[in-house]
Chain A
Amino acid sequence: GDSVTQMEGPVTLSEEAFLTINCTYTATGYPSLFWYVQYPGEGLQLLLKATKADDKGSNKGFEATYRKETTSFHLEKGSVQVSDSAVYFCALNKGGATNKLIFGTGTLLAVQP
């Protein structure tokens, strides 16, 4: 079945370090791919998305490129801040009327000053 695999955390970085959180997926067809972020005590928020191969989603300095050949959607940011500390979830949606999301396990990012 469809699934999403992302790197286990926690990921601990110093401020201004480069961030990569790996995400790969297994799905038939052409899913849309998402990164959601959950800040402490809050609900999940959409960070960025890509709907077709080679699309790049970007928001708040974060980027991810939909790579069909490697079935990947790795999240990157060039210079992290303490305020980026959160749990990041990779997800896919095969579309249609249901809008069902399949999530990865989440990766906790802790950025130290």
Chain B
Amino acid sequence: GAVVSQHPSWVICKSGTSVKIECRSLDFQATTMFWYRQFPKQSLMLMATSNEGSKATYEQGVEKDKFLINHASLTLSTLTVTSAHPEDSSFYICSALPAQNTGELFFGEGSRLTVL
């Protein structure tokens, strides 16, 4: 089946630094990727929709200058958490929609960010 990989799977950083999380579709091209955030015991919250070669579309309440999303190729999207603070600590998950759109999304394994 289609595989989506995230890197790093976990990261610890100091407050004020920036962290980049990569989402790669390993064996298919993804025109659209989605970024989610999950707090403990809460549902996945959609942060933004990323389309290859264009600006990401952010959900209401998500700061686009805080969470920079780049989708420079059909197999890679990146999420950069800028000037991270402890409240940004969370589990970040990406999903990818294949170019041959069957309606099924494929998910990465998630990246756990801890900001000290």
**Cβ distance A9 to chain B, nearest Cβ, rounded Å:** 9
Number of interface residues of A (CB under 8 A): 22
Of A8, A41, A99, A102, the contact of B105 (CB 8 Å cutoff) = A99
Docked complex Cα distance between A45 and B107 (Å): 7
A36-B107, A100-B46 given; name 5 further pairs at CB < 8 Å: A38-B107, A89-B43, A89-B44, A98-B49, A101-B46
Q: Which of chain B's residues 1-25 have a Cβ closer than 8 Å to chain A?
A: 4, 6
Q: Which of chain A's residues 1-17 have a Cβ closer than 8 Å to chain B?
A: 4, 8
What is the chain B residue whose CB lies nearest that of A98?
A: B49
Question: Do the beta carbons of A99 and B97 come within 8 Å of each other?
Answer: yes
Docked complex Cα distance between A42 and B44 (Å): 15
Write out the residue numbers on chain A whose beta carbons fall within 8 Å of the beta carbon of B101. Answer: 99
Question: Do the beta carbons of B109 and A99 come within 8 Å of each other?
Answer: no
Contacts between the two chains (Cβ within 8 Å), count: 49
Question: Do the beta carbons of B104 and A46 come within 8 Å of each other?
Answer: yes
Question: Do the beta carbons of B43 and A101 come within 8 Å of each other?
Answer: no
Task: Produce 1/0 per residue, A7-39, CB < 8 A to B.
Answer: 010000000000000000000000010001010
Write out the residue numbers on chain A whose beta carbons fall within 8 Å of the beta carbon of B104. Answer: 46
Docked complex Cα distance between A83 and B42 (Å): 24
Question: Do the beta carbons of B103 and A99 come within 8 Å of each other?
Answer: yes
Docked complex Cα distance between A100 and B41 (Å): 21
Docked complex Cα distance between A45 and B6 (Å): 15
Q: Which of A54-62, A72-80, A103-111 contacts B (4 or more CB under 8 A)?
A: A103-111
Verify if A82 is at the interface (C-beta below 8 Å from B).
no
Docked complex Cα distance between A38 and B46 (Å): 17
Write out the residue numbers on chain B whose beta carbons fall within 8 Å of the beta carbon of A46. Answer: 104-105
Of B43, B49, B95, B107, the contact of A106 (CB 8 Å cutoff) = B43
Verify if A113 is at the interface (C-beta below 8 Å from B).
no
Verify if B32 is at the interface (C-beta below 8 Å from A).
yes
Write out the residue numbers on chain A whose beta carbons fall within 8 Å of the beta carbon of B108. Answer: 43
**Cβ distance A10 to chain B, nearest Cβ, rounded Å:** 11
Write out the residue numbers on chain A whose beta carbons fall within 8 Å of the beta carbon of B97. Answer: 99
Question: Do the beta carbons of B42 and A101 come within 8 Å of each other?
Answer: no
Docked complex Cα distance between A67 and B80 (Å): 40
